[in-house]
Every structure is written in C-alpha cells, then in structure tokens.
C-alpha cells in the first residue's frame, strides 16, 4: 500500500483541521482548565464530532459506524493533536470501541458499541494498578460475580457510563463490564498536568454485568487493543509536534535579538533542521502503522512499539526545544507553547512510554 | 505503469530472467567483496578473471551497463518499468553490477541533461562501453564545504583553456583516464557565477596525481595537480560561467546515492547477539540492547520515509530539498551503526590485521566517518534544510 493518503482521507483531514481550528482551538482548552469544567472536555464539540460520524468512523455500519478505517481516524487525531483538543475519542471510541468491536458478543456490539459509535455513552478501560504501565498485571479479582480492586489513571473515568475492568482469574487476565452507577464504585477525579482528566476508581464488591471474551483472553485482547491505541495516540502526538514545531519556526523568524531574527543563528538552525528530519521519520511510522491496523497486519505489535517509542522520543525533543527556542516567553502561561510540553509528557506515559516500548520491541525481535 | 502494458512487462520479465540465467556466470552471482570485484572499465581495462569479462561483454551487448540510457549512446533504452524488472531479476539471481563507474552515476546524468549532441555521442558511448574511467574534480584544499570558493582557473586562450590549480578527493584519479572538473573561468564574477564544467584528459601534459592514504588504510582518493594544462574548448559542458548549475544537479544526485543506508548481510540485532550472546533471552549488554533497538527503529523509519517520498513523488509532490535531508539522516545513521558494531563486536573488532578482509569492521568503521563529510558535510545539509525547507533567514 502506497504511503500516501487517499483522496477521501485527505478530504477528511482537511475538514477535521477546519473543525478543530474553528471550534476547539487551544484557547478553549485554557477555558476548560480555568473554569474547572465539569466534564473536562467541551460537550458541544463532542456531540458535533458524533454528528459528523467520527465517533463511529471505524466501526461496521451494522452498529451505526461508517467502516472508514483507522488511517482515516488517524487524520482526525493528528488534527486534534494540533489544537490539543480533549475529548473521549481515545478512551471511549479507540480503546473501548475497538475492544468491543473485535472481542465483544453480538449483544455487546448492539448495545455498548452502538452507543459508543453514536457518542451517547462513554466507556473507558480501567487497567493500570501500579505506578507504571503494566497491562498484563491485575490484583483486582472477581468472586461471586462481584469485582473488587483499585484502578489508577482511568482516562475520562469521572464521566464514564461504563467501565471495562481487568481482573485476574485462575486462567489469566479477564475483562469485565461494570456499570459506573452500580453501588460499590467510587471515582476520584484527578486533573493531569495537560488539564485532561484521569480517575482513581475503587471497586468494592461491584456486580459484574458481563465479560469481554473469556477468562484468560485478557492478555491477548489487551495487547491488540492497546497496540491500536498506541498507534492512534502516536498520531495525535504527531499532530501536536508538527504544530509545536511550526509555531517554533514562526517564532524564530519573528523574534529579533542583536538586531536580527534569531532564526538566522546557525546554533538554532541546525537544531531546527534536525527536528524537521525526525518529525519526517515519525510521519512515516505513523502512517505505516495506521495502515497496518486496517490491513490486520501480523506486524502490528512491532510497528506499534516502534511508533510509540520513536514518536514519544521526538515529542519530548520538539516540546523541549520549543520552550528553549521561545526563551523566557515560553515559560509563561500566556504563551501556548507550554501546553504542548505538558500534553507531550502525559501522552508519552500513556499506553507505555519510550522505555517500555524499546524493551518490548527488542523482546518482540528476540534480543 | 498502466495495466495495458502489464502483459508486455510480464513477457519482458520472463525473457530477462531466462537471458540472465543463461548469460550470467555463476561466479558473478556472488556478493562483491571489495574494489577488485568491480569492473571499472578504462583505456587499459583490467578484468579480475574471464567470468568478469564475459559478464561485462554480455551485458554490454544488450546495452545493460546503462539500461536506462538511449540506445544511440550505447544504452539499453529501457523504460522505467522495464528497468525496475531488470533490477529485480538481477537482484533475485544475485547478479553483480557488470560495470561500476563515476561516468555512469555522475558524468552521464550531467551530459544527458547539459551536453551537446557531439559530447553525448562521444562520451556517453565510451562510458557505456567501459572504455573510459572517469574521476571527479570538485573539492580543493581551500574549497571543501565552501565548494563555490574554488580557485582552479581556466583561462581563455582562444582555441583552448589553460588550466592551473589543484583538486583534492579525486576518487581513483591514479587509475582514471579523464576527469570532469569544476574550474573558475571568471575571477571577477560573484563566486557562484564564474564557474564552468570542464572535461580534462588525465594524460594531458601538466596533469599529475598522488594518492592519499586514509584512516582505513586504503587510498581511494588522490590529490590532482594542473600545471599549465591545455584543454580544448569543445570540452566545456554547458555554458561558460554557468557550471554551478551542473555542479548542484550532480551533488543532489551524489547525495541521494550516499544517503542510502546499505543493506548488510546481518541485521544489527543478529550481529550483537552473535557477538555478545543473551542472558535470560535478552542481549547480554543492556545498554547496547537499548541502543540497538533504537537504531533498528530509526533504520526502519528512514526506509519508510524513503518509500513515502517515492510514493509522494508518484502522486505529484515535488522532491524539493529532500536529498539533503536523506543525505544527512542516512549518513548519520550509518555512522551510528558502525559505532554500535564496534561496541558490541568487542575485542575482535580491535584487530587491524594485514588486509581489508582481516580487519574488515574496524576499517569500515573508519571509512564511515567520511559519510557525513563527502558530498557536503552534515552541517552543510542542515544549512540547506534550514534555508530551503524551513525558510529560516540567512545568517
């Protein structure tokens, strides 16, 4: 498959760009933060996204989707990364939607997936328990059809209608469906450094509604779903770094010191040119990986780790250099470049950071 | 490629495979080990053995020493699609390049674009037939990164130019029959506009050359001196004082060649595992394990980016200053590979030995240091990217 966008994907990218620029610029993220928004995201923007079909973009038509593919969804993510727009697209659509679509029962698809695709319900995965990414480990357990345990860093946990929760079983990891309104669920909302939300969710003998797959299927399901999430998050991170880089280049041309544009200094030019090259590498990995999801490639795990590692590393580079090149003004809250630094750190640690994926890549390659 | 031509292409593939099977000697299907394994052509052609000669003659008879060049200049006249098939079939049989020369890769493209009909007939045909060994005369002791600052002069003497000066890094000038040179024809013009592109016979009176021994122990480069050398006027390529255009064209070409990261017979992880082994399924050295993984990811990303650039070009997007970007990234990547090989390879890689075969890795390691210098340094490439892609102001 050629490493270029199809005409339809290009059109979607263009309309996503217009939409986010017009409806959700960084100023609205600042607004959500300063006004301590209940939801943590703009619900009007979210319902618009649902109206345009983006929440169902990758799902089958039978469940209200458009069957358009992840390479297309990736373009929306890239554009939303440029405006740093928070929404439950990652937690509900990409992680939970992908999981139910691939491993859920017909009944779960008809109800849960259809509701996710319509943007009517927010479903989020609760799986981290320790202070680092360990998707195969769970202390949480189920007895008498009731789940108990504590989950950390549950994205959009405070607005979720339904949780998908990992728990250990005798056969390995299992994934359970739990109603957020059930008794025994307690949700503690945290605001993260990028102004997005993650919750600590405690389950105390909460009745389980159903399972996704069977006990012991959890590891396999988590690997596949998280690989899709890693690639999609990398697309969003790519958009953010492209935007941060463009803003930095514009600043280098505008800002004058010693009577000249600071962009004329070779000390900055070489670092800028190097970043340009690295961002081009990221673009290629992201597009290849998005296409690999649609092609159901056997290389998905390898590609996901390669992409998340590389994009994480370069997101860090570009956001750090952005601050440094903006100088003092870059340290102020008024200047938006700092928002990219904060988002880059959160995204870097979500679904496995650089270290995790370098190690996983080597393990997948047997060395 | 339109689908209408597909049956023709399939037929061409079948024919080509059969022809190669019949005409490529077995020994010419083994990997090239060094300089000697290439046939370079020249006035006094030196074949390593009969097989090499036979393979060259066979390919020459088809015009396949230069498959894409027009037939009237000794080429194969192949279309892009046919050339791709030939390359694929040669690769699958492991066929060696029958003729390797700077004439093919550098002077040829310049003449095809800027040469007169007479020049094309004479020089392209000789290159295609392996009759002349060409070398390149660009850099000078005082003009490296600042190539346009070159001082070798060509003075107009009516029917000829009188050339005086010195070139450096002239590849294999000690074997070459002729040299294509950048010379200054106008000393008063701004430096980029007084340069011309001249062809000079290495046997002409006043030309001397001397090999330069490198860190790697080999001497692929020379210094070449011009002392009152008379060069006929018809040896000027393109317009007088407009040689910089040709120089830039060729540098772009050269950069894209240097920037390709060569495939090795062993991947870097395999090399590391063979050299230092594993503990609990992981490479024994945890630092090298991380660096190796990081390198492999960058290599894959680089190859995907080359692929994407080709796909974008097919879709009509202009290549722009991309050759600088690939040159920079590709050569830095290659240097990093050898740093890692020196590290994982351990004590064995310290042995220099008596010849290139014995001390292969340390010698190649030394050679890679030139990657980011030749064809424009990494710093020059970064300058070009900053200026032409990012639009940053001149310093």
- Residue B111 in domain: no
Residues B298 and B233 in one domain: no
**Tokens 């920079």 belong to residue:** B328
Look up the domain containing B356 and give its range: 260-389
Residues of chain B with C-beta less than 8 angstroms from the C-beta of A309: 293-294, 297
Mean pLDDT of all residues belonging to chain A: 97
Instruction: Indicate the pLDDT class of residue B317, thresholds 50, 70 and 90.
Output: confident
Side-chain half-sphere exposure of B235, counting CA atoms within 13 A = 21
Task: Tell me if B301 and A306 make a contact (CB, 8 A cut-off).
Answer: yes
Task: Tell me if B394 and A264 make a contact (CB, 8 A cut-off).
Answer: yes
Where residue B336 sits, what CATH number does that domain have? Answer: 1.20.140.10
Q: Taking CA atoms, what residue in B is nearest to A264?
A: B395
Residues B84 and B150 in one domain: no
DSSP state of A253: H
Residues of chain B with C-beta less than 8 angstroms from the C-beta of A270: 379, 382-383, 386
Within chain B, where are the H helices? 6-23, 50-62, 80-93, 102, 108-114, 117-119, 125-128, 243-259, 268-276, 286-314, 322-345, 360-368, 378-384
What's the distance, CA B35 to chain centroid?
A: 14
Rounded distance between C-alpha atoms, residue A126 and residue A145, angstroms: 18
Instruction: Indicate the pLDDT class of residue B313, thresholds 50, 70 and 90.
Output: confident
Using CA atoms, how far residue A233 sits from A152, A289, B127, B278, in Å, is 19, 11, 53, 33
Q: Taking CA atoms, what residue in B is nearest to A251?
A: B392
Question: What domains can be seen in chain A, in order of their start residue?
Answer: 7-117 (1.10.540.10), 123-218 (2.40.110.10), 220-364 (1.20.140.10)
Q: Taking CA atoms, what residue in A is nearest to B330?
A: A277
Domain end: B82, B100, B118, which one? B100
From A274, A287, A367, residue closest to B269, measured CB to CB: A367
Taking only Cα atoms into account, the Rg of chain B, rounded to an integer number of angstroms, comes to: 23
Q: Summarize chain B as % helix, strand, coil (round to 5).
A: 50, 15, 35
Cβ neighbours for A233, distance < 8 A, ≥ 6 positions apart? A77, A90, A308, A347, A350, A351
| Residues within 8 A of B (CB atoms), A 215-274 only | 249, 252-253, 260-261, 263-266, 268-270, 272-274
Comparing C-alpha atoms, which of B62, B78, B76 is closest to residue B20?
Answer: B62
Q: Which of A273, A288, A316, A355 is the best residue to mutate to test the B interface, defined by the most B CB atoms within 10 Å of its own CB?
A: A273
Q: Taking CA atoms, what residue in A is nearest to B283?
A: A367
Residues of chain B with C-beta less than 8 angstroms from the C-beta of A277: 325, 328-329, 385
Residues B181 and B266 in one domain: no
Is pLDDT above 50 for B4?
no
- Residue B54 in domain: yes
Rounded distance between C-alpha atoms, residue B90 and residue B298, angstroms: 28
Q: Taking CA atoms, what residue in B is nearest to A263?
A: B392
Geometric angle at alpha carbon B15, from B12 and B20, rounded to 5°: 120
Instruction: Indicate the pLDDT class of residue B256, thresholds 50, 70 and 90.
Output: low
- pLDDT tens digit sequence for A30-42: 999 999 999 999 9
- Residue B107 in domain: no
- Residue B117 in domain: no
Task: Tell me if A249 and B391 make a contact (CB, 8 A cut-off).
Answer: yes
DSSP state of B261: P
Q: What is the pLDDT of residue B356?
A: 75
| Residues within 8 A of B (CB atoms), A 281-310 only | 281-285, 287-288, 306, 309-310
Is pLDDT above 60 for B2?
no
Q: What is the pLDDT of residue B319?
A: 61
Task: Tell me if B393 and A253 make a contact (CB, 8 A cut-off).
Answer: yes
Q: What stretch of H or E contains B171?
A: strand B160-171
What SS3 state is found at B229? strand
Rounded to the nearest angstrom, the minimum Cα separation between B281 and chain A is: 6
Dihedral angle sign, alpha carbons of residues B231, B234, B237, B239:
positive
pLDDT tens-digit profile, chain A (367 residues): 899 999 999 999 999 999 999 999 999 999 999 999 999 999 999 999 999 999 999 999 999 999 999 999 999 999 999 999 999 999 999 999 999 999 999 999 999 999 999 999 999 999 999 999 999 999 999 999 999 999 999 999 999 999 999 999 999 999 999 999 999 999 999 999 999 999 999 999 999 999 999 999 999 999 999 999 999 999 999 999 999 999 999 999 999 999 999 999 999 999 999 999 999 999 999 999 999 999 999 999 999 999 999 999 999 999 999 999 999 999 999 999 999 999 999 999 999 999 999 999 999 999 9
Domain end: B190, B210, B242, which one? B242
Model-level ipTM above the cut of 0.90:
yes
Q: Taking CA atoms, what residue in B is nearest to A6?
A: B315
Q: Taking CA atoms, what residue in B is nearest to A2?
A: B311
Neighbours of B108 (CB within 10 A): 25
Q: For chains A and B, count residue pairs whose Cβ atoms are closer than 8 Å.
A: 124
Q: What is the pLDDT of residue B259?
A: 63
Residues B223 and B269 in one domain: no
Task: Tell me if A361 and B296 make a contact (CB, 8 A cut-off).
Answer: yes
Rounded to the nearest angstrom, the minimum Cα separation between A342 and chain B is: 24
Where residue B63 sits, what CATH number does that domain have? Answer: 1.10.540
Domain count, chain B: 3
Q: Are A207 and A182 in contact, with CB atoms under 8 Å apart? A: yes
- Residue B309 in domain: yes
Task: Tell me if B269 and A365 make a contact (CB, 8 A cut-off).
Answer: yes
Task: Tell me if A285 and B282 make a contact (CB, 8 A cut-off).
Answer: no
Residue A152 has phi, psi (to 5 degrees) of -100, 165
Q: Which of B281, B300, B309 is the best residue to mutate to test the A interface, defined by the most A CB atoms within 10 Å of its own CB?
A: B300
| DSSP per residue, A109-125 | IIIIIHHHHTT---EEE
- Residue B360 in domain: yes
From B292, B297, B385, residue closest to A310, measured CB to CB: B297
Instruction: Indicate the pLDDT class of residue B3, thresholds 50, 70 and 90.
Output: very low
- Residue B253 in domain: no
Residues B143 and B196 in one domain: yes
Residues of chain A with C-beta less than 8 angstroms from the C-beta of B272: 367
Residues B27 and B96 in one domain: yes
Instruction: Indicate the pLDDT class of residue B260, thresholds 50, 70 and 90.
Output: low
Task: Tell me if B383 and A269 make a contact (CB, 8 A cut-off).
Answer: yes
Q: Which residues does B contribute to its contact with A (CB < 8 Å)?
A: 269, 272-273, 278, 281-283, 289-290, 292-294, 296-298, 300-302, 304-305, 307-308, 311-312, 314-315, 325, 328-329, 379, 381-383, 385-387, 389-395
- Residue B21 in domain: yes
Residues B139 and B196 in one domain: yes
Higher per-residue pLDDT: B257 or B212: B212
Residues B274 and B169 in one domain: no
Where residue B174 sits, what CATH number does that domain have? Answer: 2.40.110.10
From A4, A252, A367, residue closest to B283, measured CB to CB: A367
From B289, B301, B307, residue closest to A310, measured CB to CB: B301
Rounded distance between C-alpha atoms, residue A347 and residue A196, angstroms: 11
Residues of chain A with C-beta less than 8 angstroms from the C-beta of B390: 249, 269, 272-273, 276
């Amino acid at each position: 498959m050629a490493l270029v966008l199809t005409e339809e994907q290009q059109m979607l990218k263009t309309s996503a760009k217009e939409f986010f620029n017009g409806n959700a610029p960084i100023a609205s993220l600042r607004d959500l933060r300063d006004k301590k928004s209940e939801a943590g995201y703009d619900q009007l923007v979210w319902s618009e996204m649902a109206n345009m079909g983006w929440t169902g973009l990758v799902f089958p038509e039978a469940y209200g989707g458009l069957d358009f593919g992840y390479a297309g969804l990736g373009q929306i993510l890239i554009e939303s990364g440029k405006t740093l727009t928070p929404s439950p697209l990652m937690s509900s659509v990409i992680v939970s939607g992908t999981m139910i679509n691939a491993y859920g029962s017909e009944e779960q698809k008809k109800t849960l997936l259809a509701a996710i695709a319509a943007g009517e319900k927010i479903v989020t995965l609760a799986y981290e328990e320790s202070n680092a990414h360990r998707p195969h480990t769970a202390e949480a357990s189920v007895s008498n059809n009731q789940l108990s345990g504590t989950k950390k860093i549950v994205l959009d946990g405070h607005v979720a209608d339904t949780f998908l929760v990992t728990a250990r079983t005798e056969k390995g990891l299992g994934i359970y469906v739990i109603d957020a309104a059930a008794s025994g669920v307690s949700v503690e909302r945290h605001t993260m450094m990028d102004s997005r939300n993650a919750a600590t969710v405690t389950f105390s003998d909460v009745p389980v509604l159903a399972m996704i797959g069977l006990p012991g299927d959890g590891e396999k399901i988590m690997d596949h779903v998280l690989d899709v999430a890693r690639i999609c998050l990398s697309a969003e991170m790519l958009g953010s770094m492209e935007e941060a880089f463009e803003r930095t280049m514009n600043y280098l041309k505008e800002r004058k010191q010693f009577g000249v544009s600071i962009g004329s200094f070779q000390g900055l030019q070489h670092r800028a040119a190097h970043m340009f090259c690295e961002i081009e590498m990221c673009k290629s990995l992201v597009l290849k990986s998005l296409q690999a999801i649609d092609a159901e490639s056997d290389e998905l795990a390898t590609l996901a780790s390669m992409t998340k590692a590389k994009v994480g590393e370069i997101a860090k580079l570009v956001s750090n250099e952005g601050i440094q090149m903006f100088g003092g003004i870059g340290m102020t809250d008024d200047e938006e470049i700092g928002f990219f630094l904060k988002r880059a750190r959160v995204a870097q640690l979500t679904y496995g950071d650089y270290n995790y994926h370098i190690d996983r890549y080597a393990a997948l390659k047997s060395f | 490629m339109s689908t209408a031509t597909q049956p023709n292409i399939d037929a061409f593939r079948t024919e080509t495979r059969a022809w190669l099977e019949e005409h490529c000697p077995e020994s010419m299907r083994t990997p090239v080990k060094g300089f000697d394994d290439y046939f370079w052509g020249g006035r006094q052609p030196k074949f390593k053995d009969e097989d090499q000669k036979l393979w060259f003659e066979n390919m020459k008879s088809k015009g396949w020493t230069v498959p894409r060049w027009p037939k009237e200049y000794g080429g194969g006249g192949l279309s892009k699609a046919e050339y791709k098939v030939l390359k694929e079939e040669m690769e699958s049989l492991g066929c060696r390049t029958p003729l390797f020369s700077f004439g093919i890769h550098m002077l040829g493209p310049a003449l095809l674009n800027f040469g007169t009909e007479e020049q094309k007939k004479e020089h392209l045909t000789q290159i295609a037939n392996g009759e002349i060994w060409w070398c390149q005369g660009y850099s000078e002791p005082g003009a490296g990164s600042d190539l346009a600052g070159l001082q070798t002069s060509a003075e107009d003497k009516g029917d000829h130019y009188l050339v005086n000066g010195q070139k450096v890094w002239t590849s294999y000038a000690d074997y070459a029959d002729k040299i294509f040179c950048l010379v200054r024809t106008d000393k008063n013009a701004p430096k980029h506009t007084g340069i011309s592109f001249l062809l000079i016979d290495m046997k002409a009176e006043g030309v001397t050359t001397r090999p330069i021994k490198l860190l790697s122990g080999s001497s692929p480069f020379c210094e070449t001196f011009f002392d009152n050398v008379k060069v006929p006027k018809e040896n000027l390529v393109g317009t007088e004082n407009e040689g910089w255009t040709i120089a830039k064209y060729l540098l772009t070409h050269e950069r894209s060649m240097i920037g390709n990261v060569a495939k090795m017979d062993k991947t870097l992880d395999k090399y590391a595992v063979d050299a230092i082994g594993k503990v609990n399924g992981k490479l024994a050295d945890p630092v090298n394990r991380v660096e190796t993984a990081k390198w492999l990811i960058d290599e894959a990303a680089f190859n995907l980016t080359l692929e994407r650039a080709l796909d974008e070009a097919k879709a009509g997007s202009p290549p722009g200053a991309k050759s600088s970007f690939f040159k920079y990234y590709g050569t830095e990547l290659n240097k990093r590979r050898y740093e890692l090989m020196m590290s994982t390879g351990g004590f064995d890689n310290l042995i220099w030995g008596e010849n290139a075969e014995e001390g292969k890795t340390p010698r190649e390691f030394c050679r890679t240091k030139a990657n980011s210098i030749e064809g424009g340094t990494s710093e020059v490439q970064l300058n070009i990217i900053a200026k032409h892609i990012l639009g940053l102001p001149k310093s």
